[in-house]
Copies of this chain bind each other. A is one copy, B any other.
Amino acid sequence: MAALEAALAFARHQHAAFVNDLSEFVRFPSVSAQPGHAADVARCATWLAAHLSAIGLQRVRVIKTRGHPVVIGTWLNAPGKPVLLLYGHYDVQPADPPDEWRDPPFAGVVRDGHLYGRGSSDDKGQVLAHIKAIQCYLKTSAALPVNVVCVVEGEEEIGSRHLPAVLREGAIHADAAVVSDMPMASADQPAITLGMRGALSFEVEIRGPRRDLHSGLFGGAVLNPAHVLCRLVAGLEDANGVVSAAGFYDGVRERSRAERAQIAADGPTDVQIAEAAGVKRLWGDPRFSTYERTTIRPALIVNGLTAGYQQAGSKAIIPSRATAKVSVRLAVDQDPRAVAEALSRHLRTRCPPQVRLRLRWQSGARAAEISGSHPLVRLAVAACRASFGQCPALLHCGGTIPIVDVLQRQMGIPVLMLGFAHPDDGAHAPNERFSLSTFTRAIATSVHLLALMGGTEIPEGCL
């Protein structure tokens, strides 16, 4: 246990330096969705690769794709030990609306025990915790308890389109994977995520007249694309959020009474969910609990609407086109392609002949799930107990990490989903932040997990 203790002690001493590293990481505006930030994404990848080399990882590569690069670093000098793939992403969500940020979104400001900035929690702080754990071992013992392959991609927020090919063509092999890109149960209690939803994004565009028309001269004579868009979007689901498209729910896994009871026991209460969302009243299909609705049931969400005049005052036009950005969260066993077809049929059938409907499908990922009794989960429970002083919650999560399904199905390995984001960190929202005390404990968790993975015996856990 000397190596473990030395690594933990190093982590305690280096706290300030590690926070500086995180701040530097957050200061890259590596927004993968916005073409204008492509150079920033590339600079962030270069910085990360240099960082992985500096801490002692080997064969560090920045692998170019048709999109944003993947950064890979390995340490494979523990013969006979398993190979653990550590997955994370260095790309971030867009930072708009900019005027709702207290600090500039890419300043990496430390205040009140948190580091603020877009990507601080999702996912730079989480992935850096594992990298720092590796650094702690390599600086103190010049060795790791297990073999590791760090895979940090730049396209998670836009669907991880190129990573599967990189893993395949790079002949990346591993025995298990850890993905840390999800929330804890609370600010103090860590969580292991047993399931995540899949996702599917698309844009609905309605085109009408070739140009905007004067609404006085033509109002009543020409079908308004903005009105059609509202009608089609409103018609996608009922007032409770139950999707109306025939076939949409095909394949959604039915849960047994016992399974639902276990999920309910493990998950947050309605009050906790409402608090995390900052809303007074929740909403949704009354046949399922709020927690079920956000985790094991699919949901359709309008992410954006754009049509016509959007500035101050009014403008008397019938807009020539209108668009909605929509995404769907998929339940386990839902096929993204079948869901896309169901929605497409629904929309095309309902689009009136005076306008043209165009659908642009952007990404699709299946949901993922691991059993709570899997050995990997049991090791992680023990690691969390050692670092946080309490057992992790076993959660289902409504978010999507397409790569989890890729790792499980393409590489055929179990995936541990171990998250360090607080529910109120504001992932995807303005003023995103990451708790620095959680950063410290996440590093310790990773130090313990690496040790446990390298051991032969599974310690007594909470399970």
Task: Report if A411 contacts B (CB, 8 A).
Answer: no
Does B96 lie within 8 Å of A309, measured CB to CB? yes
A62 at the interface (CB under 8 A from B): no
Q: When chains A and B are docked, how far (Å) is the Cα of A197 from the Cα of B297?
A: 49
Contact A311 B222, beta carbon cutoff 8 Å? no
Count class of interface residues, chain A: 35 or more
Question: A319 vs B300: C-alpha distance in the bound complex, in angstroms?
Answer: 13
Please report which residues of chain A, range 308-347, place their CB below 8 angstroms from some CB of chain B when the two chains form the complex: 308-319, 322, 324-325, 327, 329
Tell me whether B213 and A429 are in contact (CB under 8 A): yes
Point out the residues of chain B lying under 8 angstroms from A100, CB to CB: 211
Q: Which one of A209, A219, A276, A399 has the greatest number of beta carbons of chain B within 10 Å?
A: A219
What residue of chain B has the Cβ atom nearest to residue A158's Cβ?
B313
Contact, CB under 8 Å: A319 / B293: no
Contacts A197-B216, A305-B305 given; does A33 touch B313 at CB 8 Å: yes
Q: Any chain B CB within 8 A of the CB of A79?
A: no
Nearest-CB residue, chain B, relative to A291: B221
Interface flags, A222-255, vs B, CB<8A=1, else 0: 1110110111011101010100000000000000
Contact of A399 among B199, B216, B276 (CB under 8 A): B216
A404 to chain B, nearest CB (A): 13
Contact A314 B283 (CB under 8 A): no
Task: List the B side residues contacting A318 at CB < 8 Å.
Answer: 301, 303
Contact, CB under 8 Å: A221 / B283: yes
**Which residues of B are found within 8 Å of A47, using beta-carbon distances?**
none
A426: nearest residue on chain B (CB-CB)? B211
A227 CB, nearest partner CB in chain B, Å: 5
Nearest CB of B to A385, in Å: 25
A195 CB within 8 Å of chain B = no
Q: Would B224 and A427 count as touching, CB distance under 8 A?
A: no
| A300: B residues at CB distance < 8 A | 219
B314 & A219 in contact (Cβ 8 Å cutoff): no
Report the bound CA distance from A192 to B166 in whole Å: 70
Pick the contact of A214: B221, B319, B322, B427 (CB < 8 A).
B427
Return chain B residues, CB-CB under 8 Å to A219: 294, 299-301, 327, 329, 398
Contact status A241-B216, CB under 8 Å: no
Q: Determine whether the beta carbon of A314 is less than 8 Å from that of B201.
A: yes
Name the B residues within 8 Å of A230 (CB-CB): 229-231, 233-234, 302, 305, 324
Specify which chain B residues have a CB less than 8 angstroms from the CB of A431 in the assembled complex: 211
Q: Is there an interface contact between A220 and B284, defined as CB atoms closer than 8 Å?
A: yes
Chain B residues positioned under 8 Å from A283 (CB to CB) = 221-223, 352, 354
Contact B315 A220 (CB under 8 A): no
Assembly CA distance A35 to B226 (angstroms):
25
Q: A220-B284, A284-B220, A427-B217 are in contact. Are A304 and B309 (CB under 8 A)?
A: yes
Contacts of A307 in B (CB 8 A): 302, 304-305
- List B contacts of A423 (CB < 8 A): 217
Inter-chain CA distance A101–B329, complex, in Å, is 40
Q: A212-B428, A220-B293, A329-B215 are in contact. Are A304 and B313 (CB under 8 A)?
A: no
Contact flag A308-B313 (CB < 8 Å), given A220-B294, A398-B220:
no
Q: List 12 A-B contacts (CB under 8 A).
A: A93-B315, A93-B316, A201-B316, A209-B277, A216-B400, A219-B294, A219-B301, A220-B284, A305-B322, A315-B325, A315-B428, A316-B428
Q: Given A221-B294, A309-B325, output 13 extra A-B contacts at Cβ < 8 Å.
A: A33-B312, A35-B312, A94-B313, A201-B314, A209-B277, A214-B427, A217-B427, A219-B299, A303-B315, A304-B319, A308-B325, A313-B362, A316-B327
